[in-house]
């Protein structure tokens, strides 16, 4: 990190709009409404309802769009909307949606859905395939926009073989207002970047008199990812009361470890919520290799029990919230294209705090003594995968 970066993330800084905007090179928009979607079917119900009511256009960008029951149901819905004359644009990550069948994509095309694959494999640059479009974004008629951690697949919805199952624990937001125009512009850039051509849709979003300020925190380049990291470290180093971090994959850098340790030394309550079990075992064990150090420093660590935790939310001093697709690992912060929104509001921050504490009711707090007595086999796996943490 350069001396200029260190100056930007000085602990003396505060959560002021001009500073946040300068860090991510984007602006806040006022007059927005935000609905937090985190319980069971809330997010998918809201998404399906909004798409079903679309009149002009639907823009969809997802890391995973699988042709299971959930993907087929949404696929049938957007095929129907396309037949009704609604323009539908679907951008999916080539790696994330690799198992989705060609026949599924062909049926969407035949129905009039416009498709593009982001980050496809190229023999001329095979290592670029490590970079993934991890964003999750839906925009309907320029009025409603959704973003968060979920993908279009059964495990996120809690549905398989026509049977209801408990969904993975995830978080998304539905936003309305001027920020939708900013999100649409970001989608337009992604769509054009992957050969989709120019889109000319505009937003006619309502400005709400008592709405909230929201800033897009999207990263689709090395510069964008650097800005996202700056904002994250600035937020950690600026917090004075509390830091609540929820992440599906936690593989911290040395800078991340030092920043969290320094926050505790300043008297900040630092709480980290991670999965008690994971779908990516390599990341799961690599991150746990650093738990002893964090616990000794005074960081509270909670293992979420039950279904898999897939949410990515960060809350600082209950006033600045970040919700989106980025995890606290090397892949998200250094390689992936990620999409998040930041909400600067105490009221929304209190909602986020309530959700965090609700999740803690389904979690187990790690004790340093008990953690020190974990099985030898687990320690070996942690050490092994920690070696490859810059690949996770």
> Is residue 134 flagged as an active site residue?
yes
> Is residue 141 flagged as an active site residue?
yes
Per-residue tokens: 369: 């003594």
Nearest to 132 by CA among 337, 392, 329: 337
How confident is the model at residue 165, as a pLDDT? 72
Catalytic residue among 136, 176, 188, 230: 136
Q: How many CB atoms lie within 10 A of CB 45?
A: 12
Catalytic residue among 79, 81, 134, 176: 134
pTM of the model: 0.94
Q: Low-confidence residues of the chain, pLDDT below 70? A: 1-13, 160-164, 392
- pLDDT for 254-306, tens place per residue? 999 999 999 999 999 999 999 999 999 999 999 999 999 999 999 999 999 98
How confident is the model at residue 5, as a pLDDT? 42
Alpha carbon separation from 259 to 246, 265, 298 (Å, rounded): 16, 10, 13
Nearest to 186 by CA among 152, 214, 150: 214
Place of tokens 């991150």: 287
Catalytic residue among 93, 170, 317, 359: 317
How confident is the model at residue 10, as a pLDDT? 39
How confident is the model at residue 348, as a pLDDT? 97
> Is residue 42 flagged as an active site residue?
no
CA dist., res. 309 & res. 321, Å (int): 18
Catalytic residue among 81, 133, 310, 329: 310
> Is residue 310 flagged as an active site residue?
yes
Catalytic residue among 67, 133, 141, 337: 141
- pLDDT for 129-185, tens place per residue? 999 999 999 999 999 999 999 999 999 998 765 566 788 999 999 999 999 999 999
């Amino acid at each position: 990190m350069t001396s200029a970066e260190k100056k930007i993330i000085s602990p003396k800084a505060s959560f002021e709009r001009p500073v946040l905007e300068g860090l991510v090179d984007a602006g806040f928009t006022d007059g927005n409404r935000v609905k937090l979607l985190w319980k069971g079917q809330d997010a998918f119900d809201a998404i399906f309802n909004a798409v079903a009511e679309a009149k002009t256009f639907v823009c969809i960008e997802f890391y995973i769009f699988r042709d299971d029951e959930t993907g087929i149901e949404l696929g049938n819905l957007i095929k129907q909307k396309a037949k009704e004359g609604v323009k539908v644009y679907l951008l999916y990550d080539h790696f994330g949606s690799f198992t989705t069948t060609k026949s599924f994509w062909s049926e969407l095309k035949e129905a009039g859905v416009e498709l593009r694959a982001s980050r496809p494999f190229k023999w001329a640059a095979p290592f670029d395939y490590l970079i993934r479009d991890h964003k999750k974004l839906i925009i309907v008629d320029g009025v409603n926009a959704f973003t968060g951690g979920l993908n279009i697949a059964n495990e996120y919805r809690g549905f398989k073989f026509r049977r209801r199952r408990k969904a993975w624990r995830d978080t998304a937001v539905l936003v309305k207002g001027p920020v939708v125009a900013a999100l649409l512009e970001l989608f337009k850039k992604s769509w054009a970047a992957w050969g989709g051509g120019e889109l000319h849709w505009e937003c006619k979003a309502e400005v709400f008199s008592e709405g909230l300020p929201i800033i897009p925190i999207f990263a689709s380049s090395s510069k964008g990812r650097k800005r996202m990291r700056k904002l994250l470290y600035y937020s950690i180093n600026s917090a004075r009361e509390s830091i609540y971090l929820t992440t599906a994959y936690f593989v911290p850098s040395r800078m991340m470890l030092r920043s969290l340790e320094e926050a505790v030394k300043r008297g900040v309550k630092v709480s980290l919520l991670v999965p008690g079990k994971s779908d990516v075992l390599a990341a799961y064990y690599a991150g746990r290799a650093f738990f002893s150090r964090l616990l000794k420093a005074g960081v509270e660590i909670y293992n979420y029990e039950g279904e898999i935790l897939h949410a990515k939310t960060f809350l600082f001093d209950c006033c600045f919230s970040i919700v989106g697709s980025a995890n606290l690992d090397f892949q998200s912060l250094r390689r992936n294209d990620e999409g998040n929104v930041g909400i600067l509001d105490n009221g929304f921050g209190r909602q986020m705090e309530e959700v965090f504490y609700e999740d803690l009711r389904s979690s187990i707090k790690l004790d340093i003594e008990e953690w020190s007595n974990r099985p030898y086999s687990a320690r070996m796996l942690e050490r092994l995968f920690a070696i490859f943490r810059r690949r996770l």
